Amino acid sequence: MKQRLRDDSGTVLLLIIGLTVVVALLVAVVTDVTALYLQRRELISAADCAALAGAQAVNEREIYTNGLPEAGPVPLDRLNAEAAARQYLVDAGLSGRLDVRVEATSTTVTVRVDVTYHLPAASRVSLGLAGSVPVTASATARTAVIR
């Protein structure tokens, strides 16, 4: 009968535990990266739509008084454009959780939205002490050029 030189029982169990930990970490990282990507896409869409809503607030008084310009963009009412962009975010239910900055000129509306996003897996692992990432998106819309 052959005698074993050393006992290697339990080695496979250690490999399985190590592999399980690596796979769990990989799943957590993929989950967080995907959630962050989707959050950023949502913010980009919200900023785009708010900027477009603001760009539709033309300066009706100037247009009715002076008519449409022969060439160049349609003039905006700055205050109404900013209000329309903010109102879009309120109507979409996003204004409460976002830091919103809206700037309008006579031809453009720029919307910037910021939020601190809590990553699902990292927040659970750290019990909410870590795992938050600032996410920012901005969009600019210009009025149409009349030719």
Predicted confidence (pLDDT) per residue in 75-124, tens digit: 888 999 999 999 999 998 887 778 899 999 988 999 999 998 888 887 67
* Domain presence at residue 5: no
As a whole number, mean pLDDT of residues 2-25 equals 80
* Domain presence at residue 93: yes
Looking at every residue in the chain, the average pLDDT score rounds to: 85
Tokens at residue 79, please? 């205050």
Domain of residue 23 covers 11-146
Q: What is the pLDDT of residues 59-81, one digit of tens each?
A: 888 888 887 777 778 888 899 99
User: For residue 13, what pLDDT is reported?
Assistant: 86
3 confidence band (pLDDT: 50, 70, 90): low
pTM summary value: 0.76
* Domain presence at residue 4: no
User: For residue 82, what pLDDT is reported?
Assistant: 93
* Domain presence at residue 1: no
21 confidence band (pLDDT: 50, 70, 90): very high
How many domains does the structure of the chain reveal? 1
The C-alpha R_g of the chain, in whole angstroms, comes to 27
DSSP 144: P
- As a dihedral over the C-alpha atoms of residue 42, residue 44, residue 49, residue 53, rounded to 10 degrees, the angle is 130
User: For residue 14, what pLDDT is reported?
Assistant: 87
Do residues 146 and 56 make contact, with C-beta atoms less than 8 angstroms apart?
no
Do residues 55 and 88 make contact, with C-beta atoms less than 8 angstroms apart?
no
* Domain presence at residue 124: yes
* Domain presence at residue 39: yes
User: For residue 59, what pLDDT is reported?
Assistant: 82
